[in-house]
Structure 1
Amino acid sequence: MNHVSRLLVASFLTLAIVACGQAPMPAATPAATAATSDLSGIKTYLLEQCRALTGAATELQVASDRYYALAGEVGFDYAVLWSTRREAAIAAIEDARAAWMKASPLYEKMEGIVAGTPSLAQFDVDLDAGAAGVDDPENAVSFDLKLPDGRVLPKPGNLFGVTESTLWGTEPAYGTDVAADWNGDGVIAFGETLPDASVLKGSVDMLAQMANDLQAAAQAWTPTESDAFTALVVMVPTMSEYFASWRDSRFVLGDASTQRDFNVISRLADIQDILGGLEVVYAQVRPRVETVDAAQANQIAEGLRDLRAFVADIYAQEQGGRRFTPQEADLLGAEAQNRATAITGQISQVAGVLGIRIVE
């Protein structure tokens, strides 16, 4: 989630109260704020995803190291690599891609918690959401990427984006000059690429290290009610951002897309994973919401389920072969955003009654 989205959250919460159709709730009372939630399920869920992510990241490292070793055997002469080690190189790249395809959804399942928790949010910037410094300095990642050959890529963008664009060739600067026609049909199709081995190894190694750092931070973290409600209020109303990324990807624009990431796994799948994690968060605080208004507690749960089902239906159509237009993507994104705004307004109201601080 980027900085602009965080700023927008505060601005539309008042409007969201109207959108959700609820009358303003009374001010919090000492009795309403006396109880606290058992939030252990949030941490348990987060640590499960972290452990799975570090395992997938290790698999990604193993495959990346194989490719790096192959390139090293020929002195990083990629023309020679292609002519003499083609099958081994393709196998290593395919194994790296399979591991990446496992790792990315694992992170998305916990993104709602990580990005929505102030003490963990920097991990989201650096792993999955941060921009390249040259494109968007305000929302850029915090690191420079040091490569094993001595080069340094200053603030190159988030690590899942760098690794994806290296593995599938959507960032030419991370590839080589070899025309790697994998199937020999005379056409260089999407994904037919020979990555720069140093960029791949450097970015994968940092991704694996950051996954381990996130796990350590998650282990040390004790979630609070402020963390839980903040994650919901900050992350539920990000639908327009995700739908815009989907609109600009190959899943909608095909070969006309110039977006370098989110081209391999549909953002529609990512949204479902993110909402699933947020439903875990809400389940932990729902008993507190019920102390304020049991009917509204149920409405929020149903709203989250319905929103995820709405996205799942679009995704099912896409998987079935439908290609949506950019205009349709915008309309669908607006509908998802309206639903999310209404849900967020309800959650924000409850937090106010309970006296729980939302960190913007």
Structure 2
Amino acid sequence: MTAQRYLNMLLIWMLLLLYGCSATSVVVTPTPSPVATNLNLQGIKEYLLTQTDALVTAATQLQTASDRYYELAQSVNFDYARLWQDRRNDTIAAINAAREAWMIASPIYEKMEGIVAGTPSLAQFDVDLDAGAAGDEDPENAVSFDLVLPDGRILPKPGNLFGVTESTLWGTETAFASQVKADWNEDGTIEFGETLPDANVLKAGADLLVKMARELDTSARAWTPTESDAFTALVVMVPTMSEYFASWRDSRFVLGEASTQRDFNVISRLADIQDILSGLEVVYAQIRSRIETVDPDQAAQIANGLRNLKAFVADIYAQERSGRRFTPEEADTLGAEAQNLATAITGQISQMAGVLGINLAE
């Protein structure tokens, strides 16, 4: 669990203590029966496996395109100036194919991130695939791996694999790029994405992404979701809005050319948030009947809250897609509003877990 998500959990527990200490805030609900239930959570697993299977397919397509680019670079002994001069069209085709596969793979992962990151037995995959930092930037929240390149170089804890492959493909991390200026459209200006990746970094990143996607699929197939898993995933992942909005604020979608953030510049975090919430709605749908046994009104309020939060983000995204450029200050304000909505929802879910006697994983 990242430090930010730990703080979110701490905040929720503090809110619950406040609810318990305030006579005007107490919600009286029936004492739960200690008898075990036969709640069927298979829908969560089926949803997860649909996504892991799709991720393996998309990641393999990324690997195939990355291998093609590697072979082109290898054919000229990794002389990128010569590669650009002699094999320009083939090079652009290979990079574009890799980018297209990446843009398919990334949203697939976001759709299951709420489950993966919110489930203790699966959470390390989220760190290494999508959320983990580089070791030299944030050691506490760094990925668990070093990236071993085909040429023998080792990149110690380079950051999460979607971030590594994105920043390599679009040139937002200079250490992952060749130093050749590649004017793709020959207009005399080097624009965003006009880059030649370091073929060794791209191949290593794509290869490891496929390996981890397969390992995640295997772990997901062996996993049997419990009520604790479902409630924990919701309590951990719903109140992450400030984290995601901060990433959006610092990206090219808000700052444009002034952004120094190396990832989350190709697909808006606003789109990612909607995908994450979609997965969390699947989780909640599986446990809603359990909450309805003690408080039907609360169950409906939580469902409406999740739906309203997703709609709030969707509206901002629609404005962005129509051409509006939000300021960093506006992004912070919107992020605070989203966080307030999410915190309220999480408080309700946590309260219901307590009423039902369901332990939340720490």
Alpha-carbon distance in 2 for matches of 1:224, 1:332 = 34
Match of 1:13 in 2: 13
The CA deviation at 1:216 is 0.1
| Residues 125-181 of structure 1: CA deviation (Å, up to 9, x unaligned) | 000000000000000000000001100000000000000000000000000110011
Match of 1:195 in 2: 197
The CA deviation at 1:3 is 2.5
Matching of residue 4 in structure 1 with residue 4 in structure 2: yes
In structure 1, the residue corresponding to 2:187 is in which secondary structure?
coil
In structure 2, give the amino acid aligned to 1:285.
I
Match of 1:232 in 2: 234
Match of 1:281 in 2: 283
| Residues 112-137 of structure 1: CA deviation (Å, up to 9, x unaligned) | 00000000000000000000000000
The CA deviation at 1:80 is 0.6
Q: Which runs of 5+ in 2 are unaligned?
A: none
Match of 1:23 in 2: 26
In structure 1, give the amino acid aligned to 2:234.
L
Q: Which runs of 5+ in 1 are unaligned?
A: none
In structure 2, the residue corresponding to 1:292 is in which secondary structure?
coil
In structure 2, give the amino acid aligned to 1:9.
M
On the 8 A contact 1:147/1:202 being kept in 2, the answer is yes
Q: Compared with structure 1, are the counterparts of its residues 292 and 38 closer, same or farther at alpha carbon in structure 2 (3 Å cutoff)?
A: same
Match of 1:146 in 2: 148
On the 8 A contact 2:5/2:237 being kept in 1, the answer is no
Alpha-carbon distance in 1 for matches of 2:278, 2:28 = 28
In structure 1, give the amino acid aligned to 2:244.
Y
Q: TM-score w.r.t. structure 1 length?
A: 0.97
Alpha-carbon distance in 1 for matches of 2:239, 2:201 = 34
Matching of residue 95 in structure 1 with residue 97 in structure 2: yes
On the 8 A contact 1:17/1:342 being kept in 2, the answer is no
The CA deviation at 1:18 is 6.4
Match of 1:160 in 2: 162
On the 8 A contact 1:300/1:346 being kept in 2, the answer is yes
Mapping of residues 159-308 of structure 1, within 5 Å: 159-308=161-310
| Residues 93-113 of structure 1: CA deviation (Å, up to 9, x unaligned) | 000000000000000000000
On the 8 A contact 2:52/2:217 being kept in 1, the answer is yes
In structure 2, the residue corresponding to 1:226 is in which secondary structure?
helix
| Residues 300-352 of structure 1: CA deviation (Å, up to 9, x unaligned) | 00000000000000000000000000000000000000000000000000000
The CA deviation at 1:90 is 0.5
In structure 1, give the amino acid aligned to 2:6.
R
Deviates more, 1:3-12 or 1:141-150: 3-12
Alpha-carbon distance in 2 for matches of 1:125, 1:26 = 37
On the 8 A contact 2:8/2:239 being kept in 1, the answer is no
Pick one of 308, 311, 317 that aligns with 1:309: 311
On the 8 A contact 1:114/1:121 being kept in 2, the answer is yes
On the 8 A contact 1:17/1:349 being kept in 2, the answer is no
Number of matched residues? Answer: 358
Alpha-carbon distance in 2 for matches of 1:32, 1:311 = 39
In structure 1, give the amino acid aligned to 2:185.
N
Q: Compared with structure 1, are the counterparts of its residues 22 and 87 closer, same or farther at alpha carbon in structure 2 (3 Å cutoff)?
A: farther
Pick one of 112, 115, 123 that aligns with 2:114: 112
Pick one of 25, 33, 44 that aligns with 1:42: 44
Match of 1:76 in 2: 78
**What RMSD over aligned residues (CA atoms) do the two structures have, in Å?**
1.4
On the 8 A contact 2:166/2:263 being kept in 1, the answer is yes
On the 8 A contact 2:29/2:295 being kept in 1, the answer is no
In structure 2, the residue corresponding to 1:187 is in which secondary structure?
coil
On the 8 A contact 1:36/1:288 being kept in 2, the answer is no
Higher relative contact order (CA 8 A, sep 6+): 1
The CA deviation at 1:33 is 5.0
Match of 1:327 in 2: 329
Matching of residue 347 in structure 1 with residue 349 in structure 2: yes
Alpha-carbon distance in 2 for matches of 1:308, 1:260 = 26
On the 8 A contact 1:17/1:24 being kept in 2, the answer is no
On the 8 A contact 1:148/1:198 being kept in 2, the answer is yes
> Identity rate of aligned residues, in percent?
72
Match of 1:131 in 2: 133
The CA deviation at 1:28 is 4.4
Alpha-carbon distance in 2 for matches of 1:173, 1:74 = 21
In structure 2, give the amino acid aligned to 1:180.
A
Alpha-carbon distance in 1 for matches of 2:297, 2:13 = 20
Alpha-carbon distance in 1 for matches of 2:287, 2:78 = 54
| Residues 247-295 of structure 1: CA deviation (Å, up to 9, x unaligned) | 0000000000000000000000000000000000000000000011001
Alpha-carbon distance in 2 for matches of 1:37, 1:357 = 16
